């Protein structure tokens, strides 16, 4: 419709311009012809005698296609025989009394025929009956102009109508062809909304905006499908991991309840072992739930949204985590070499990631072993002297719920290193595990930052431990 309207306006403007130009040219040609008609003195004299009625016989006039009139200063006209008189206009009278040299205008004859009139001052000695000067008017019917204009208007109307219809048809075809990919995109979106089927893909050929939109839509659905699959896998893995401690916890509680109901008390040592097991299983459940909450939390989920990101003294965070690691491994020797390093991260998430790395080292270190911690230029290295990790297991260590076959008897949920990897990625860094020279495992956490803290912004507090005393 818009194409048809645009073409209609353009064709109408062109047709109107063509019609107006043609009208002006035809009218100009007619005016030039009327001005060039030579009305001789003899014709004027004969016309004057014919109009005055003083001729004894019939005055002979040469046949002419034009209407010739004599116009006096009083406004009287004398018209050639067999022609309808044309009333004199003010311009004609002005030419007769000498105020104008000539005049050209359109008027109607007595019978209503549109006439084009050219009036010229007559320089000869002839005057009217009252002695007034006269002017000579030569006129021709306007149909010499109007008939070609009417034919031209009909042709322009037909051509314009065909052009508009053709433009409307072409516009409809182009619109349908151009919007067909949009229709496919709409159908795909409606299908996904109706069936939640994220496997559908839209063909994206070319480099135009529609193709780019189709590729973006395909990328979006692929990302949603991957996210749904990860969510499904996380739920399945979490359910599997929760089932074991819940089953053990329910079994132990059933034993305690049955003992109380049957009146057969459990020996104190066995009861103490059951309660210790229940407590350990509850702690394992709490740890697993906390890890799941940490993995499901978005980076801006803390108070203030994005404001939870702040400058953190990584060396202070590592020092605090080292104290906890020494408490959990009282038989281990934990050495540290910490250079100042400041990063922008969430303090709680960063501390949890560092604690997970140290707990992992403590867990796999033999009694009386050593855990070496070093922080230099934004690279935190935690090295233990445990059994190490097999080469074929290294690609899986950061996967959720993955646990080495040799470590499945040890406490843990298999989510600690996943949390470390997620925290490092959110802070713009990375983490890796590799075999350490001489045995054991070396974990390397790299975070971008600087050895000195940046100046605090208007809404950013100074890093802890750096305030002037």
Percentage of residues in the chain having pLDDT higher than 70: 81
- Predicted pLDDT of residue 281: 72
- Predicted pLDDT of residue 411: 53
User: Is the pLDDT reported for residue 306 higher than 50?
Assistant: no
* SS3 category, 60: coil
- Predicted pLDDT of residue 22: 92
Cβ–Cβ < 8 Å for 217, 192: no
Q: How confident is the model at residue 266 (pLDDT cuts 50, 70, 90)?
A: confident
Residue 415: CB atoms within 10 A of its CB come to 26
Q: What is the pTM of this model?
A: 0.45
Phi, psi angle pair for 131, to nearest 5°: 85, 10
Residue 432: CB atoms within 10 A of its CB come to 14
Q: Which of 354, 336, 337, 356 is nearest to 345 (CA)?
A: 354
Least confident residue range of 98-102, 142-146, 424-428: 424-428
- Predicted pLDDT of residue 258: 82
Q: Which fold has domain 305-446?
A: Heat Shock Protein 90 (3.30.565)
Average pLDDT over the chain reads: 79
Q: What is the pLDDT of residues 87-133, one digit of tens each?
A: 999 998 898 888 888 899 999 999 889 999 999 887 766 666 666 67
Cβ–Cβ < 8 Å for 377, 341: yes
User: Is the pLDDT reported for residue 460 higher than 80?
Assistant: no
Sequential DSSP letters for 155-181: HHHHHHHHHHHHHHHHHHHHHHHHHHH
Contacts of residue 3, defined as CB under 8 A and 6 or more positions apart, other chains included, come to: 167, 168, 170, 171, 174, 175
Look up residue 336 and give its two tokens: 């540290």
Cα–Cα dist 414/396, whole Å = 11
Least confident residue range of 149-163, 249-263, 288-302: 288-302
* SS3 category, 70: strand
Contacts of residue 247, defined as CB under 8 A and 6 or more positions apart, other chains included, come to: none
Residue 183 DSSP class: H
- Predicted pLDDT of residue 305: 40
User: Is the pLDDT reported for residue 302 higher than 50?
Assistant: no
Q: Which range, 7-21, 71-85, 362-376, has the best average confidence (pLDDT)?
A: 7-21
- Predicted pLDDT of residue 240: 60
Q: How confident is the model at residue 151 (pLDDT cuts 50, 70, 90)?
A: very high
- Predicted pLDDT of residue 468: 36
Percentage of residues in the chain having pLDDT higher than 90: 9
Q: Which of 216, 280, 208 is nearest to 244 (CA)?
A: 280
Q: Which range, 60-69, 95-104, 229-238, 263-272, has the best average confidence (pLDDT)?
A: 95-104
User: Is the pLDDT reported for residue 284 higher than 70?
Assistant: no
- Domain 209-296 matches domain 305-446 at the CATH topology level: no
- Predicted pLDDT of residue 252: 81
Q: Which range, 102-116, 167-181, 313-327, 354-368, has the best average confidence (pLDDT)?
A: 102-116
- Predicted pLDDT of residue 385: 84
User: Is the pLDDT reported for residue 467 higher than 60?
Assistant: no
Q: What is the pLDDT of residues 177-207, one digit of tens each?
A: 877 878 888 888 888 888 878 777 777 777 7
Q: Which range, 203-207, 396-400, 429-433, has the best average confidence (pLDDT)?
A: 429-433
- Predicted pLDDT of residue 114: 92
Cα–Cα dist 462/456, whole Å = 6
Mean pLDDT in residue range 206-215? 80
Q: How confident is the model at residue 65 (pLDDT cuts 50, 70, 90)?
A: confident
- Predicted pLDDT of residue 106: 92
- Predicted pLDDT of residue 64: 77
The domain segmentation of the chain, as residue ranges, is 37-141, 209-296, 305-446
CATH number assigned to the domain covering 209-296: 1.10.287.130
User: Is the pLDDT reported for residue 21 higher than 90?
Assistant: yes
Which CATH number fits the domain 37-141, given the four candidates 3.40.50.300, 3.30.460.10, 3.30.450.20, 3.40.50.1980?
A: 3.30.450.20
Least confident residue range of 23-27, 41-45, 370-374, 388-392: 388-392
Cα–Cα distances in angstroms (integers) from residue 381 to residues 55, 333, 423, 444, in the given order:
136, 16, 16, 5
- Predicted pLDDT of residue 83: 86
Contacts of residue 328, defined as CB under 8 A and 6 or more positions apart, other chains included, come to: 359, 362
- Predicted pLDDT of residue 105: 92
């Amino acid at each position: 419709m818009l194409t048809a309207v645009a073409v209609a306006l353009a064709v109408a403007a062109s047709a109107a311009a063509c019609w107006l130009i043609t009208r002006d040219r035809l009218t100009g040609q007619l005016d030039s012809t009327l001005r060039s008609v030579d009305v001789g003195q003899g014709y004027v004299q004969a016309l004057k005698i014919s109009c005055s009625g003083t001729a004894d016989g019939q005055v002979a006039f040469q046949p002419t296609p034009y209407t010739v009139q004599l116009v006096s200063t009083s406004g009287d006209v004398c018209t050639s025989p067999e022609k309808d008189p044309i009333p004199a206009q003010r311009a004609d009278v002005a030419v007769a009394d000498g105020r104008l040299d000539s005049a050209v205008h359109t008027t109607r004859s007595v019978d209503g025929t549109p006439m084009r009139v050219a009036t010229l001052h007559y320089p000869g000695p002839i005057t009217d009956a009252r002695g007034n000067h006269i002017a000579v008017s030569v006129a021709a019917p306007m149909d010499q102009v109007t008939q070609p204009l009417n034919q031209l208007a009909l042709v322009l109307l037909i051509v314009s109508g065909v052009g508009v219809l053709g433009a409307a048809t072409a516009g409809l075809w182009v619109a349908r062809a151009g919007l067909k990919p949009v229709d496919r995109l709409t159908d795909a979106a409606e299908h996904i909304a109706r069936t939640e089927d994220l496997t559908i893909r839209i063909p994206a050929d070319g480099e135009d905006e529609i193709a780019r939109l189709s590729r973006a839509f395909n990328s979006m659905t692929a990302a949603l499908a991957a996210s749904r699959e990860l969510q499904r896998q996380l739920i399945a893995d979490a359910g599997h991991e929760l089932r074991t401690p819940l089953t053990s916890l329910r079994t132990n509680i059933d034993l305690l309840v049955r003992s109380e109901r049957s009146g057969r008390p459990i020996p104190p040592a066995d009861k103490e072992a059951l309660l210790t097991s229940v407590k350990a299983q509850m702690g394992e459940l709490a740890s697993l739930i906390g890890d799941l909450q940490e993995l499901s939390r978005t980076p801006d989920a803390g108070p203030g949204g994005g404001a939870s990101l702040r400058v953190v003294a990584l060396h202070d965070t590592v020092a605090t985590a080292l104290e906890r690691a020494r408490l959990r491994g009282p038989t281990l020797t934990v050495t540290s070499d910490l250079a100042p390093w400041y990063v922008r991260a969430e303090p709680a998430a960063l501390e949890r990631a560092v604690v997970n790395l140290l707990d992992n080292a403590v867990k796999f270190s033999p009694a009386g072993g050593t855990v070496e911690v070093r922080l230099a230029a934004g690279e935190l290295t935690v090295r233990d002297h445990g059994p190490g990790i097999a080469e074929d297991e290294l690609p899986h260590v950061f996967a959720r719920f993955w646990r080495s076959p040799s470590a499945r008897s040890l406490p843990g949920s298999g989510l600690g290193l996943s949390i470390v990897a997620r925290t490092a990625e959110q802070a713009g860094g990375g983490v890796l595990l590799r075999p350490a020279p001489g045995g054991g495992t070396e974990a390397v956490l790299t975070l971008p930052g600087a050895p000195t803290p940046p100046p605090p912004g208007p809404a950013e507090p100074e890093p802890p431990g750096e305030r002037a005393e």
